[in-house]
Structure 1
Amino acid sequence: MSSRRTFLFKTLPAAGVALALGRHAFAADPELSESDPDAIKLAYAADASKVDKTKNPAWATGQRCDTCELFNAPDGGELGSCSLVKGKLVRAAGWCNQYVP
């Protein structure tokens, strides 16, 4: 018959591993920086009001990530996911050259 002590010694290491993996699984994705290679390819700007119209002629007033079809922010927050950028979050007030109304 197993004792309580034996049971705890067998289950605690597994519980610790599960807890560590669980924290990693729920960690938030990092925010996309404008210097990131993906951001550079997309001419991403974290603040759409600061987009240089001469360098980005496709930009138009009112275009922001939060009005783009590719953007998803489940809680309506300042950060959300974009279909074009995997594993990183973009700003709702941002813009890129792949904007889809």
Structure 2
Amino acid sequence: MTSRRTFLFKTLPAAGITLALARHVLAADPELAESDPDAMKLAYAADASKVDKTRNPTWATGQRCDTCELFNAPDGGDLGACSLFKGKMVRAAGWCNQYVP
């Protein structure tokens, strides 16, 4: 039969790891939606290849969030932080009209 002390010593480390992972997942910033009012103001598109050139004449081939000075993806992933959209993550393949080469 297992004592309470043995049970606690075996389960507490696992519970701590689970809580740490849950905190990390819950703390992650949400992804910016194209329908977000801030995104709409800056003509944000999650896929730069689908930007309407007639409505966004400043867009040029090759401009993407991951080549913009305002974009920061610490792990090189598909999502990253943009200094224009605080608290929201943007797509590396995205674009907005405030692009900075």
TM-score under structure 2 length normalisation = 0.76
Runs of at least 5 residues in structure 2 that lack an aligned partner in the other structure: 1-18
Structure 1 residue runs of 5 or longer lacking an equivalent are 1-18
CA–CA distance in structure 2, aligned partners of residues 25 and 49 of structure 1: 30
Q: Residue 69 of structure 1 aligns with which residue?
A: 69
1:44-63 deviations in Å (ceiling 9; x for gaps) = 00000000000000000000
- Paired residues in the alignment total 88
Letter matched to residue 99 of structure 2: Y
Instruction: Tell me which stretches of 4 or more aligned residues in structure 1 moved more than 4 Å.
Output: none
Give the aligned CA root-mean-square deviation in angstroms.
2.4
Query: What CA distance in whole angstroms lies between the structure 1 residues aligned with 2:81 and 2:55?
Result: 25
Matching residue of 1:78: 78
TM-superposed CA distance for 1:27, in Å, is 1.6
**Structure 1 residue 23: deviation in Å?**
1.7
Match of 1:28 in 2: 28
Give SS of 1:87's match.
coil
- d(CA) in 1 for partners of 2:95, 2:24: 29
Q: Which residue of 2 aligns with 1:89?
A: 89
Q: Does 1:52 align with 2:76?
A: no
